[in-house]
Structure formats: C-alpha cells, structure tokens
Structure 1
Amino acid sequence: MIQETFAINQGVKLTAAALPLLLASEYYQSRKGVWVFKPLASLGFLLSATANHQGTAALPVFSKYILLGLGLGAVGDVCLIPKSGFLLGLGSFLVGHLSLVYAFTVHGMDASYALAGLAGTGAIGTIVGRWLLPKVKDPVMRKAVLGYMLVITGMVVTATASLPHTPVPRQQYMGALMFYLSDLFVARQEFVTKSVWNSWIGLPLYYGGQLLLAGTLAQ
C-alpha cells in the first residue's frame, strides 16, 4: 500500500498565489487581471504535476493521461476567458475529461463502487439537468451541454470505481469530485445567473481539484 502524500511544490505555491489575485480580478471585473492570473494559476497545477511525475513509480499510461487531462484543462481555462471562446473551451475540457476517464480505468475497476458512483452522480446529474437544460436555449448548445454532463458523470464514476485499486484513492476521488462540482458553477454563470459567487466558489473547487489530480502522480 502506497501512502498518499500531498507535496507543497513550487507549482502548488504558484496556484495558491495566483488564485486570490484571479478572484480579486473577477470581483473587480478586471479583464487584464484575469488574462494574467488565470493562466498563471493554471500553469501552477501543470508545474505541480510535472514535479510530482519526476522519479515516481506511477504507471506510464496513468501518468500520460492525467497529464493530458490537466493540459487540456489549462487550454480550456484560457479559452474560457473571452466570451467567444466558450465552445472551444467546452471542447477542450470535454476531451480532457475523457483523458481522465481513461486514466482512472488503468488500475482496474470495481463494479460495486461503479454502481455507487453512478447512483450518486446520476441523481445529481438528473437534478442539474432538469434545472439547467431548459435554460440553454440554443438546441446545438443544449446537446453539447448534455454530452458534457454525461462525460463528467463518467469521470466521477470511473474515479469511484477504481478506488479499491488505485494507489491514490483519496486524491483521485476528491480531485474528480471537485472538478465535477466546479463545472456546475461554470454552467450557472453561463446559462443561469451571473454572480461573483460562481467564481468565488467554482474557481477554488476547480484549482483545488486540479492540484489534487496533479498529486496523484506522486506515487
């Protein structure tokens, strides 16, 4: 059994420093601040993942797809800064989630854990779908959002299903769950209610989740 540890490396420190400045930029509606501090916060979890990956015994396939998922998340972060980049960002995150789904299956899956994960996220997804989808007026966007919801549900289900087998169950599960929850606040901002609280709750969930997923490479 590998003992889980969370390393406070330079990447973690960069995200921790940039995130409050990003939240302040969102609060004061400083586009320049968002363009500076959001990429920096995302760079932090990429640097953390790279540092964690060096010299570890993590399975190469697992590492490859965790790194790919995090990288696509960072691309999506930048794409979401301008209003016009929402669909491109959505696509980048979608492929990134699929990469994480594959990574989570590498260590093996347990059917009972998968059913538990599906029951929990399925119930949440049903409630969210009934709340969110009627507010997405464009039919193409509605299909894109529905597909995205199915993929992020699959991410949490596979993260849950592999808990008995993965060397880093707590970081993997909490990272995936926080990533999932952060997406709900992105959707709320885009389609339901524009509020600073979407950023103030969603962004810490997102960056905390990404750092935890980056920490799964330190095996």
Structure 2
Amino acid sequence: MIKTIKKVAVIIMTVVIMISTVRIADQASSTTVQAASGYSGKIYKHWCKLRTAKSKRSKTIKKLSVGTKVTVLSTSGSWRKIKVGNKTGYALKKYVYISTNAPKLTGSTYNKGQTVASFAQRFVGNPYVWGGTNLNMGADCSGFVKSVYKSFGYNLPRSSSSQRSAGRKVSYSNKQPGDLICYSGHIAIYIGNGKIVHASSRKTGIKISPKANYRKVLSVRRIVK
C-alpha cells in the first residue's frame, strides 16, 4: 500500500514538473515573439535622444536625427520603446512617427480583419483630435476608423453616423476582428477577445477598451470582403 502511494506521488510530481516546464517554455516563446515584434517608424519634427528609461533624466544612449529609421516596439504614456540598429531604448512619443503603410490583406475574411485590427493597434497612445484624421498627429473616432481603412484602400464615409451604413451588417454575436462597432455618436474597431481600439477622448487618446459593449451597440459593420 505504501509503495503504491509512493508511486502515485512520483507520477504526480513528474506530471507537475512537465506542466511547469511547458508553461515556462510557452512564456519564453511569448516573450521572444513580443521582443521580435514591431513596426517601422522614423524620427520626425525634431531630433531627439534615445534613452535607457522613460525619463528625461535617464542616460542618453545616442542622439537621433530627423529621418532616422526605427522599429517601434511599444508606446506608454509620453514615450515609445524603439530599436535603432542593435540598440533599444526610449524616445519621446511626439518625435517618433509610426508608418501608415499597411500590409496587404490576404487569406480569409477573418484573417483580413485580424490584419486590420493589428494595424489599428499600432497607433494606441496617439492623441485624440476633434476633426482629425491623422493617425500620428491625432484623429477623432470616425477619423481614426476612416484613416485605418484608407491605409488598406477602403474609402469610408467621414462621420460615425454615416459609417454605420458602410460595408455589410453582421450580428454582434458574429463579430470578428476588424469589424466596426457602432454606438450613438461614436465608433470603434473590434480587435477580438471582447476588446475594441478607438479614438476615445482628448484625455485618453487612441486606446484599447476591454469591453466592446461598454455602451449600447447600435450596429456591427464588416468592411473587408
């Protein structure tokens, strides 16, 4: 009886170790993907400094002149994490332009929508500007949607109310990444997992919100074919 219990304990410990190992491997893989990801950009408006941390008091790695090509890794507050050559650091967001050259839409409708959703998320952290349509300088909710889709060759109406008639209607339960989530006086792009990306307000700028139905949804529109 004791030997049987010991054998069971050994088996359980082995399974736990195996599961832990898989989880660690998965986490490492995820980290690698995140570290390797990014999209093209450049320094514009004014030269700036590549710093070791998100602070003007942090050490300067190098000075970046206007036109310097960079890889944008993430945006947080007033800073972007970027890679220049083999050096990675932080630069003030206002001096780092994010490329609006969109990738080609290929594959299924779902894959195309996912590409649109991923592209739209590049601009999270950029400003909200009433009447704006510039993904870097600032856009309002409908200007953001229009400019994202314009990058893929789609010409959508300008206002959020008119965008409620763009594309084709789908049910909320059948929504997929890239679909437009339409509200009264507002519009967003669905990115999956119940989340949306949108030019929310002057205070928050372009951001990701965790609940697509945070307010009454009037319509869901699918633009990609």
Q: Which has the larger radius of gyration?
A: 2
Scaled by the length of structure 1, the TM-score of the pair is: 0.31
| Higher RCO (CA 8 Å, separation ≥ 6 residues) | 1
Which protein has the bigger strand share? 2
Q: Which has the higher helix share?
A: 1
Q: TM-score, normalised by structure 2?
A: 0.31
